Amino acid sequence: MEHRYLRNVVTLRYELEKCTGCGLCEEVCPRAVFRLHEGKATIIDRDLCMECGACSRNCALNAISVRAGVGCAWAVLTSKLRRNQQSCCSEPCCGG
Amino acid sequence: MKESKSIFNRKESFRWISRSIETAVGSLPQISSKLSLKDLFDSFKFRLGIGRMKYTVPPGLYGVGKPNPESPVFVSANFKLSFDKLRKSLKEIDSWLLVLDTKGINVWCSAAKGSFSEEELKRQILKTKLTEIVSHRTLILPQLAAVGISAPKVMKLTGFKAIFGPVRASQIPEYLKAGMKASSKMRLVRFNLLDRLVLIPVEILNILKPLLLLFGVLFLLGFFKLKILSLRAFFPYLGAILVGIVLVPLFLPWIPGRYFSLKGWLLGALYALGLSFYQKSLTQILIYFLLLPSISAFFALNFTGSSTYTSLSGVLKEIRISFPLIIISLSLGLILAVFSLLF
């Protein structure tokens, strides 16, 4: 069964004109958000995006932008309390 | 090489080093692709949170099998569990293993935090003199490292072509057999029942310490004959926590709703309903419904961090909407509980 999180929230942006069709975004995405279609990358399911940032980091032409971060409520809540950037990663976070 | 020599000197503590391999720049440690009972026991201990900060492998270059200058180079984190998974799946594949210094953190987290980076990769390539050991210029990285590694930047910095292999090390043999092509299935991060199951002991351990503290306080209160909060009265709330950290993770995809907090609230409400059958007092039932589902919702919300599909934007939205509701419900429940005790 496919996991799906909230609709219409992710910050993923993509400019088709800049794409050269190298296919790296499709390769690095762990959620199958991109697919090459007629020599260009296309977003096939935006809501699947988990904002890990792998695609934008690997796009040589800066065609992709996303506010990368870890979707961890504990990290968000504790950083709000302590006013510092605290990531949650006590091991289980990103799963083993 | 100084680094690898120090590893040989400390051979006792690194049982996974079988012997040494001679290369153009000196001898390198050869590692076993078999996991010993001790490796498995250590992993088990780590999973249970015993001595979890020290589970590292010395960074550097290792050989698996009988590698030659044409053998593939795999890059990994120096977190022992990642390292073990990789060497186990490299069984019968003569290869090189370049271990980066990620401070003992797994691939995905270290890449997200910045220690699994292009600069660290460059540093290890230089330190191990990799360019003198292998004749090719290709590195195979775990796909999840892409969060912190840009293949175009690696090419610019090191001259190596970075290729992203499958998400899971266990699929490497299949990946190589397919001519270094990852199928679309290999590219997906999964979160099946088993993946969620192994996280539950850690979830429980995380709350154990504060919980024991609370029990201690309640026990002392009982000792002073302050029976306002007896240990027994606390059990329903302990149940609500377990709903949030055990049942929600287990039944995650089958519970309706997309918000984790809503999933937790729904199961918590079901649980409160169940408990209500044993309660005659209407006030107590109301207290249960105000407190129990909110507690479950809060712990379910926290599970977003352990899941592998939640986005930061989604979590921010969920906190914005659910968190105030949880606080309001908890406050109302507590006020009602105090009043019912006083009057």
Per-residue model confidence as pLDDT tens digits over B243-272:
999 999 999 999 999 999 999 999 999 999
Pairing mode, if any, of strands B17-23 and B26-31?
antiparallel
Facing A6 at nearest CB: one of B108, B188, B318: B318
Angstrom distance (rounded) from CA B202 to CA B208: 10
CB contact residues (below 8 A), chain A span 28-47, against chain B: 28-32
Question: Is-contact B107 B94, C-beta < 8 A?
Answer: no
Q: Compute the Cα dihedral for B276, B279, B280, B284 and give only its sign.
A: negative
Chain A CB contacts of B184 under 8 Å are 32
DSSP-based helix, strand, coil % in chain A, nearest 5? 30, 10, 55
Under CATH, which number does the domain A13-94 receive? 3.30.70.20
How sure is the predictor about B5, in pLDDT bands with cuts at 50, 70 and 90? very low
For residue B340, the distance in angstroms to the closest alpha carbon of chain A comes to: 32
Question: Residue B337: how many CB atoms within 10 A of its CB?
Answer: 20
pLDDT above 90: residue B279: no
Q: For chain A, what are the domain ranges?
A: 13-94
Bigger pLDDT: B151 or B280?
A: B151
Angstrom distance (rounded) from CA A62 to CA A54: 12
- Radius of gyration (C-alpha) of chain A in whole angstroms: 15
pLDDT tens readout for residues B211-246: 888 888 877 776 666 555 666 778 899 999 999 999
* Chains A, B: CB pairs < 8 Å: 159
SS3 B173: helix
Q: Looking at residues B194-222, what average pLDDT do you find?
A: 85
Tokens of B260: 């984790």
End-to-end alpha carbon distance in chain A: 21
pLDDT of residue B54: 63
For B152-156, which contacts have Cβ atoms below 8 Å and span 24 or more sequence positions? B152/A24, B152/A58, B152/A60, B153/B118, B154/B118, B154/B121
pLDDT of residue B9: 47
Could you give the residue ranges of the DSSP H alpha helices within A1-96?
24-28, 54-58, 73-82
Closest CA to B57 of B81, B80, B31: B80
pTM score of the predicted model? 0.86
Up-side HSE of residue A85: CA atoms within 13 Å toward CB? 3
Residue B311 φ/ψ region, left for φ over 0, alpha for ψ in the -120 to 50 degree band, beta for the rest: beta
Chain B CB contacts of A9 under 8 Å are 311, 313-314, 317
- CA B117, chain centre distance (Å): 19
Angstrom distance (rounded) from CA B18 to CA B23: 16
For residue A24, the distance in angstroms to the closest alpha carbon of chain B comes to: 9
How sure is the predictor about B21, in pLDDT bands with cuts at 50, 70 and 90? confident
Facing A89 at nearest CB: one of B109, B198, B314: B109
Question: Residue B306: how many CB atoms within 10 A of its CB?
Answer: 27
Q: Looking at residues A62-83, what average pLDDT do you find?
A: 89
Up-side HSE of residue B219: CA atoms within 13 Å toward CB? 6
Angstrom distance (rounded) from CA B277 to CA A22: 62
Facing A51 at nearest CB: one of B167, B308, B313: B313
- CA B13, chain centre distance (Å): 25
Question: Residue B220: how many CB atoms within 10 A of its CB?
Answer: 10
A5 interfaces chain B, CB cutoff of 8 Å: yes
Closest CA to B102 of B92, B113, B91: B113
Chain A CB contacts of B309 under 8 Å are 3-5, 31, 48, 50, 71
pLDDT above 80: residue B16: no
pLDDT above 90: residue B28: no
Q: Looking at residues A60-69, what average pLDDT do you find?
A: 95
Closest CA to B241 of B215, B277, B280, B279: B215
Q: Match 């191990």 to its residue by tokens.
A: B128
- C-alpha distances in Å from residue A19, one per residue of A14, A49, B54, B128, B147: 9, 19, 44, 36, 20
Question: Is-contact A47 A68, C-beta < 8 A?
Answer: no
ipTM for this model: 0.89
Tokens of B245: 């950290």
Share of residues in chain B with pLDDT > 90 (%)? 64
Q: Cβ contacts of residue B61 below 8 Å, gap of 6+?
A: B4, B28, B96, B97, B98, B99, B124, B128, B130, B133
Are the Cβ atoms of B311 and A51 closer than 8 angstroms? yes
Taking CA–CA distances from B82, the nearest residue in chain A reads: A96
